[in-house]
Structure 1
Amino acid sequence: MTSPRARLLPAVSILLPAASVLLLACAASAQAADAENEDNVTGKLGGRLHWDIADFDNDTRGAPNANDSDLRALWLDLSGKFYGLNYKLEADFSGDEVLAKDVYVSKKFAPGTLTVGQFKQYFSLDDRISSNHMTFIERSYLVQNLAPTYRLGAAWLTARDGYTVGGSIYSLESIDVWQTEGLAVAARGTYAPWREEGKVLHFGLSLAHEDYDHPGADGASALRIRPRPAGIFSDNSRVTLADFSQGRDTRVDKYSLELAAVKGPWTFQGEAGGARFDDGQQEARLSTGYAQVAWMLTGEVRPYDAKAGRFGRINPQGRAGAWELALRYDTISGRQRPDGEPLLRDVQVSSLTAGVNWYPRPHLRLMLNWIDSRNRDRLQDLTLDRTRALVGRVQIDF
């Protein structure tokens, strides 16, 4: 029987070169048409700096997490136009190695926009919101463990009055993580029947299918789902929800349902999602979801971008800046079972996060989150770990 990866490979091998040729043809056409236009080539420099700190209150179960601080993000990007094409080159300089983020070219047509290169895939409201604009310091468990994020591929996005439809074919590799082998497809659709300032109602659906090649063997990356319960520094509290690292090709199907609303200074946002893993000898199912509410004490309204189906930047109105309070409940669980045998694992991770954000200026933000997380082994009806953390961030972007 032909594998899903074998069926996807011809499509990708045809689409990527065809898309590249199409973009080059459009660029040549634009160059000829705009030969006298001084704006054929433009460039704009941007970037962000996020400095995070964490202070932990560990219980006696498991290894304690150490208090820490680190430069979480130091991104620089160059974006603009090049003879009819839009481009973006973005990298993160915060770690020991420079990591590529958005590296792509795109072209707008009447029906929509074609993008080729490395970019965030169309999956999940929480992942589509920029880290500069999201309400909490950490993204939801759904995004941390299911979202494809930055991958190499080709994508199409159509945005019309109140709705968007986007899809992509992509490799599971990225520019920096080439050991994760396989191919995938993803799509996201959104609809906003209300989309005026101070009154927004948003619905969304994301789907993805991924085919991993021999994870954990022959140099390929392992495929494990291990959430960080209380933020980026809580590695010692991680538990395994699913493990498919025995070298067998693995199929993964994912979904996410979105609901969000804005009513004056109030924002409500939630998603429910899941995934099914299958390598022919065992199966795992993940269930995850979050619900959050935010209130702008100073009366600002969170803007909604209907063309992208996501929220944008808070702009403080007063001289003292804008203040925001937020609360989120987040959970993810994993059940894994060898074929024809009892459950191997049934583990749940959940957390409650309270946050306060201060926006002194549009491009400056200070954040403080209190996270109360808990890991449970539901097979043994046992709490494995409870970790609390006070987490802060200083954020500057331009």
Structure 2
Amino acid sequence: MCGASIAAICTSTPALAQDVDAAAVLEELAAMRAEMAAMANRIESLESELETAQQVAAQANAAAAAASESAAAASESAAAAGDTQIAFKGAPEIKGESGWSFKPRGRLQYDAGFVSSPDSTGRPDGFGNEVRRARLGVQGDMPGGFGYKFELDFDGTDVAITDGFLSYATGDVEFVIGQHNNFQGLEELTSSLSISHMERAAFTDAFGFERRVGASATYANDAVLVQGGLFTDAVDDLSNKNWGVDGRVVYFPKLGETQLHFGGSVHYTDLESGMTVRYRQRPAVHFTSERFINTGNLGASSEFGFGGEVAIVHGPFHATGEAFWQNVDRPGALTDPTFFGGYVEVGLFLTEGDSRGYKGGKFDRIKPGSPVGEGGAGAVQVNVRYDRLDLNDGGIIGGTQDAFLASLIWSPTDWTRFMLGYAHLKYEDAVHPTAGGDTSYSVDSLGVRAQIDF
């Protein structure tokens, strides 16, 4: 019996071992299933987190792209507009966004001197002085190619508008409307800041050249200038029915270091019925009111004038000249006289490296190569001129004036100038006879000018 029990025990041991191994496997499988379920849950959670992260990243990328576009647009706008800039060109010039600019401008010229005429003419002479020009104004640009200029002149008693206009430029063409210079010639269009004697050529004042209200167009390239306009009268003389047409053509090539200038102009003015004209001139200075040649008032229905101009600038040397004829159409059967004015001039700089300025069909300011304040002495220039004005024609005896002029100009800087001018004037048919009835005599004038502008 004992053996049978032992055999039974021995026989059941493998079955028990198999049961134990199966339970362990089942436990391991259950654990593995639990781990796999946990992993699946974790993967699902990670997938959800990844999807959320991708959404956030997409939103961040979109925001970054929008910010980048805004920054680029702002950069382009800033590049286009630029910061407000202030430059100094005699006065502050302020340039702002979208093409705006603003610059105050002004000039002051003070003259003094003497006039000597024959005592027996009874004309007052001797010392005289005046503020020749005192101007204040503004100029600048506006968006779209527009520009503006407005300037007032104060002569001690009255205030007058010199320039007051709006301009528009596109390509090589500029349009101007308002009070501005019509196109009379080289001497008249050269600024009073840059002329070479105390006063411009005699014919420019005698024939009434001045700024007028009108509309004009100018075409300009590197060597050609074409100007034309329709004008009424000066703003102080409005309103009347006077109107006129002015045109000018200039060819100004530069051959190496030599600047050439060839030009011509034509002018027509239709005068209101009953109007008169008067041609007269002072003796080369403005601080005297005496005129020794004078046509007196002439009834006129229109004026027609034409002129030619030529100039050369080569290093320190320049030469220039103009001629102008003014015809007056008188009413009825009256003779139509034609009067003449013209001049020739040469000039030379005594300071090394200096030259007369020229720009865009007219003379420009002198810019000393060694200005005062920068270790230099400025620019020194001498000029001589012969100037003739003939107011005798068609039965009109207004007289003739032959002037011999000399000037010495010192320009310490671009914006300052001092001038000494002398003129010897010979008259025929002068309107003020001597005590003996002589109308042929000489007059002398001497003037000095101190000038500053900005």
- For 1:54 and 1:180, locate their aligned partners in 2 and report how far apart those are by CA, in whole Å: 38
Amino acid at match of 1:83: P
The aligned counterpart of 1:189 is: 249
Gaps of 5+ in 1: 1-33, 217-221, 338-342
- 2:70 alignment partner in structure 1: none
Aligned-partner Cα distance in 2 for 1:111–1:202: 19
Q: Which amino acid aligns with 1:152?
A: V
Q: Distance in 2 between matches of 1:214 and 1:366?
A: 45
The Cα of 1:143 is off from its aligned counterpart by 1.3
Q: Superposed, which structure 2 residues align to 1:1-398 within 5 Å?
A: 38-62=97-121, 63-84=123-144, 85-146=146-207, 148-171=209-232, 173-178=233-238, 181-194=241-254, 196=256, 198-216=257-275, 222-241=276-295, 243-245=297-299, 249-281=300-332, 282=334, 283-299=336-352, 300-305=354-359, 308-318=360-370, 319-337=376-394, 343-345=395-397, 347-377=399-429, 383-398=439-454
Tell me by how many angstroms 1:256 deviates.
1.2
Q: In the alignment, is the contact (CA less than 8 A) between 1:229 and 1:350 conserved in 2? A: no
Report the Cα distance in structure 1 between the residues aligned to 2:188 and 2:289, rounded to whole angstroms: 21
How has the CA–CA distance of structure 1 residues 200 and 303 changed in structure 2, closer, same or farther, with 3 Å as cutoff? same
Runs of 4+ in structure 1 deviating by more than 3 angstroms, as ranges, are: 34-37, 378-385
Deviation, 1:231, is 1.5
Q: Is the 8 A contact 1:376 1:382 kept in 2?
A: no
Contact 1:133/1:313, CA 8 A, preserved across alignment: yes
Shift of 1:226: 1.0
Structure 1 distance, partners of 2:240, 2:401, is 25
Q: Which ranges of structure 2 fall in alignment gaps of 5 or more residues?
A: 1-79, 83-95, 371-375
- CA drift of 1:193 comes to 2.7
Relative to the length of structure 1, the TM-score reads 0.82
Per-residue deviation, residues 91-117 of structure 1 (Å, max 9, x unmatched)? 112331111011000101224111000
Separation (CA, whole Å) in 2 of partners of 1:309 and 1:202: 7
Does the 8 A contact of 1:260 with 1:267 survive in 2? Answer: yes
Q: Hey, what's the Cα distance between the residues in 2 that align with 1:213 and 1:77?
A: 32
Could you tell me how far apart the structure 1 residues matched to 2:439 and 2:350 are? Answer: 37
Q: Secondary structure at the match of 2:281?
A: coil
Q: CA deviation at 1:374?
A: 2.3
Partner of 2:337: helix, strand, or coil?
Answer: strand
Q: Give the AA of the match of 2:397.
A: R
Cα distance in 2 for residues equivalent to 1:241 and 1:320: 46
Matched letter for residue 291 of structure 1: V
Task: Please say if residues 259 and 271 of structure 1, whose CA atoms lie closer than 8 Å, have aligned partners that are also in contact.
Answer: yes
Q: How far 1:142 sits from its partner (Å)?
A: 2.1
CA offset digits 1:118-138 (Å, max 9, x no partner) = 001111100111111111110
Q: 1:89 to 1:346 in 2, by over 3 A?
A: closer
Q: Secondary structure at the match of 2:237?
A: coil
Q: Percent identity?
A: 27
Q: C-alpha distance in 2, partners of 1:155/1:352? A: 36
Hey, what's the Cα distance between the residues in 2 that align with 1:114 and 1:48? Answer: 26
Shift of 1:250: 1.4
d(CA) in 2 for partners of 1:123, 1:327: 23
Q: Name which of structure 1's ranges 187-196 and 310-319 shifts more when overlaid on structure 2.
A: 187-196
Higher relative contact order (CA closer than 8 Å, sequence separation 6+): 1
Distance 1:290 1:105 in 2: 34
| TM-score, normalised relative to structure 2 | 0.72
Output the CA distance in 1 between the equivalents of 2:321 and 2:212.
25
- Asked if the contact 1:57–1:388 (Cα under 8 Å) also holds between the matched residues in 2, the reply is yes
Q: Is the 8 A contact 1:51 1:72 kept in 2?
A: yes
Alpha-carbon distance in structure 2 between the residues aligned to 1:383 and 1:291: 26
Task: Tell me which amino acid in the other structure corresponds to 1:325.
Answer: V
Structure-1 separation of matches of 2:239 and 2:286: 23
Q: What is the DSSP-based 3-state SS (H/G/I as helix, E as strand, rest coil) of the residue aligned with 2:97?
A: coil
Higher mean Cα deviation, 293-302 or 177-186?
177-186
Which has a greater percent of strand? 1
1:116 and 1:314 mapped to 2: Cα distance? 29
Structure 1 residue aligned with 2:51: none
Opposite residue 412 of structure 2, the aligned amino acid is: P
- Report if aligned partners of 2:99, 2:142 keep a CA contact under 8 Å in 1: yes
Change (3 A) 1:346 1:58: closer
> Greater CA deviation, 156-165 or 52-61?
52-61
Looking at structure 2, the residues matched to 215 and 226 of structure 1 have their Cα atoms a distance apart, in angstroms, of 20
Query: What one-letter code is carried by the residue in structure 1 that aligns with 2:269?
Result: E
Give, in angstroms, the shift of residue 317 of structure 1.
1.9
Q: Are 1:211 and 1:252, in contact at CA under 8 Å, matched by a contact in 2?
A: yes
* Aligned residues: CA RMSD: 2.3
Q: Provide the C-alpha distance between the structure 2 equivalents of 1:115 and 1:45, rounded to a whole number of angstroms.
A: 20
Query: Given that residues 46 and 78 in structure 1 are in contact (C-alpha distance below 8 angstroms), is that contact kept between their aligned partners in structure 2?
Result: yes
Higher helix fraction (1 or 2): 2
Note the C-alpha offset of 1:42.
2.2
Q: What's the offset of the Cα at 1:177? A: 2.4
Change (3 A) 1:387 1:181: farther
